[in-house]
């Protein structure tokens, strides 16, 4: 199959970026609203102790980076197809003249998104395991390796000429390594979270603490959103290894998919009725809840911080 020319790939990438940013916006607004405002009283901020500031900061930063990416993609296309009047048109522009900061900043955005997205997932795992550092040791090491590989890829990409960035042969091992590591981090962390929630659900059900399977519903949400992100990484890796110019489309798409999945996770968990939450303690006595938290090492209040 013949490759897509670079100027056509950039145009497609801009269109995909705008569509995904629109989806992101529709998830960001209810997400940030649920994080900051009370569910029972409209437009009233939650008490300071109930606001999850790390999640708010990460969610906002992911949205800002995604917005910057969408804007730069549009500016890039406008420069090439509208404002550039030189010989060769848009193809010549992307081939020889796109050496400014706007064109290598895409790599920086990739680094920020995958690093923040995986860090937020590991933080949620850390909270669910009652802030036990040993529980996140493996995903944390994988995350550090991924962050280092991603920074290396960004630095390398910034030094390459315009037309030889993502599909340069020297970039394939670094970019592939980054995607493999983020895939590994996501899969391991999601598995740890789902395993933890299922085991706590079984323990609490046996004790008669909850009947509505709140934790199993949360585990399913983690699994489903993790699958969306994981499949996106696999598809992006396949496109990178094929060496075609559609890697520009894949890069921009992944920048938006990461915050979309993070927002969907929080929105869907928030919509599970709070009366089913083990944090309410309404289905079991305080003594029983304390016993479960101690013996099973599961913090019943952790779900309120996720």
Q: Give the number of other CB atoms < 10 A from CB of residue 64.
A: 12
Domain residue ranges of the chain, discontinuous segments joined by +: 6-304
Is the CB of residue 66 less than 8 Å from the CB of residue 19? no
What gap in Å lies between CA 50 and CA 36, rounded to an integer? 9
- Position 293 scores a pLDDT of 44
What gap in Å lies between CA 108 and CA 172, rounded to an integer? 17
- Position 175 scores a pLDDT of 84
- Position 21 scores a pLDDT of 95
- Position 19 scores a pLDDT of 94
- Position 98 scores a pLDDT of 56
Greatest Cα-to-Cα distance within the chain, rounded to the nearest angstrom: 78
pLDDT, one tens digit for every residue, the chain (306 residues): 456 777 788 888 889 999 999 999 999 999 998 888 877 667 778 888 888 888 899 999 999 999 999 998 888 888 778 777 777 676 666 666 555 666 677 778 888 899 999 999 999 999 888 888 999 999 999 999 999 998 888 887 777 765 556 666 777 888 888 999 999 999 999 999 999 988 887 777 766 655 447 788 888 899 999 999 999 999 988 888 887 778 888 888 999 999 999 999 999 888 876 554 555 444 444 443 444 444 445 555 555 556
pTM of the model: 0.84
- Position 65 scores a pLDDT of 93
- Position 171 scores a pLDDT of 76
CATH fold group of domain 6-304: Rhopdopsin 7-helix transmembrane proteins (1.20.1070)
- Position 290 scores a pLDDT of 43
């Amino acid at each position: 199959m013949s490759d897509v020319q670079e100027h056509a790939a950039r145009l497609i990438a801009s269109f995909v970026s705008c569509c995904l940013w629109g989806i992101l916006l529709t998830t960001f607004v209810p997400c940030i609203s649920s994080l900051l405002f009370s569910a029972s009283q409209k437009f009233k901020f939650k008490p300071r102790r109930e606001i999850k500031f790390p999640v708010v900061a990460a969610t906002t930063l992911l949205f800002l980076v995604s917005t910057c990416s969408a804007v730069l993609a549009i500016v890039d296309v406008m420069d090439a197809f509208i404002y550039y009047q030189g010989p060769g048109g848009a193809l010549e522009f992307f081939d020889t003249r796109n050496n400014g900061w706007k064109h290598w900043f895409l790599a920086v955005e990739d680094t920020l998104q995958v690093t923040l997205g995986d860090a937020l997932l590991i933080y949620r795992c850390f909270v669910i395991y009652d802030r036990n550092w040993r529980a996140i040791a493996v995903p944390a090491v994988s995350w550090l390796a991924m962050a280092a590989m991603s920074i290396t890829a960004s630095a390398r990409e910034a030094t390459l000429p315009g037309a030889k960035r993502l599909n340069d042969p020297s970039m394939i091992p670094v970019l592939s390594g980054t995607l493999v590591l983020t895939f590994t981090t996501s899969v391991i962390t999601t598995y740890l979270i789902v395993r933890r929630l299922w085991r706590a659900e079984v323990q609490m059900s046996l004790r008669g603490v909850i009947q509505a399977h709140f934790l199993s519903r949360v585990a399913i949400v983690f699994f489903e959103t993790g699958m969306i992100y994981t499949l996106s990484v696999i598809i992006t890796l396949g496109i990178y290894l094929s060496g075609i110019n559609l890697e520009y489309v894949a890069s921009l798409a992944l920048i938006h998919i990461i915050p979309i999945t993070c927002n969907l996770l929080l929105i869907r968990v928030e919509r599970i009725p709070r009366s089913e939450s083990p944090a309410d303690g309404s289905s079991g006595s305080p003594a029983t809840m304390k016993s479960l938290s101690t013996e099973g090492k599961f913090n019943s209040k952790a779900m309120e911080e996720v």
